[in-house]
Structure 1
Amino acid sequence: MTLKKNLKKRVRARQEKTGESYTTARMHVLNQEQARGPKVSQVSLREVTPLVDEVGLMGQAFLMPRTPESLARPALKLLCELLLSTRDEPATQRMRAVLLGGEPDTPDFASLSREWVQTQVFLRNLRLGMRGPSRSGRLLSFELRADGVPVTMVVALVPSLGEAPKLLLGTAEDFLHAEQALGNPALLGGSFFFQNVW
């Protein structure tokens, strides 16, 4: 049974039990799942900010838990090269402006739901094997050769709420493993993301 059908079944069961509307029952079921869900906050990121400076980028960088540290430097170096070589590409404009140009990355909270949808689409495409930037310009996946083996890397620009830009770096597998946390719209709020999720 797919997750969507399973959710629908639990919502219908709550509806029958409580007499609530489908929307209200769904909200309660999702809230209960979040309260019971695995605590992603127990995961620790590794800061690799010194490498950001070395390759010519700006901001702080954090490595996902399952991603080998040996991939951090080559991935950040390739990211810098990609941003420099795609100056005419609108899809990489946001990352380029923040990570190379030092522009502030102030989140537009009115667009939070749109960003959440775009993150979901990016993760779905990543699972299907597609690579490239997300529509929001906050996520970018690319291939990196490590010891002759291709590895799909993902970088995520996390809204920083007036602080130094924050970059999350990891393998596609690591990002897909953390999909539940990345898919929560409440977590797109920068500092909240880093303090409460990781």
Structure 2
Amino acid sequence: MKISNLLRCLVSALAVLAGAVALAADKDLRTRTDAKGETEIGFCSRPSRAAPFNFPGHTFVTFSEARPGAGRTFRSVGHTVAGAGVTPTVFTYFGGKPVAGKQAEERYTDVMQACLTVKVDREVYERAVAAARPTLTAIGLPDGVAAAAESYALNDNDCVDYAMRVAKAVELVGLKVPARAAMDLPADYIAKLKAANK
């Protein structure tokens, strides 16, 4: 009896791992090796664990670089709601007033996250990092203030639009960035991005 329970747990764990691997995709857009190390950008989605039915989900972008002798640095950043409740946020989808948004660090730990990881040359990586900065930074607001003052509206200036803005910085070197349909939720859009870049 104990062996069958152990076997069942092992099979379940392998199924979860297989599913997680299936959720990942890689694309190499590098044109050369770089003595300064490797750079990668990840376009990811995950369920909304705190929300009912894991809806609507969330999209974020990861930035990773490995320098020789210095190890790897990794950060994940998303554009999300800053303190508004569910109801005001949902109404933004139907033309309601935008709510306060912010760009913030994301947890990169969800077993159900799906990512497209793109290896790029350093100048492309730096262009993508610049595209990830809050848009209000461009008019002179300090990064911290701009990150807290960004407006947020579903299907207008939300987490998917943020990921698309970063992806557009990589489009110039071959990343295919599909248009977003009106009903694309975060997982839908990342699935489209992965499919376009097989």
With normalisation by structure 1, the TM-score equals 0.29
More RCO (CA 8 Å, sep 6+): 2
Q: Which has the higher helix share?
A: 1
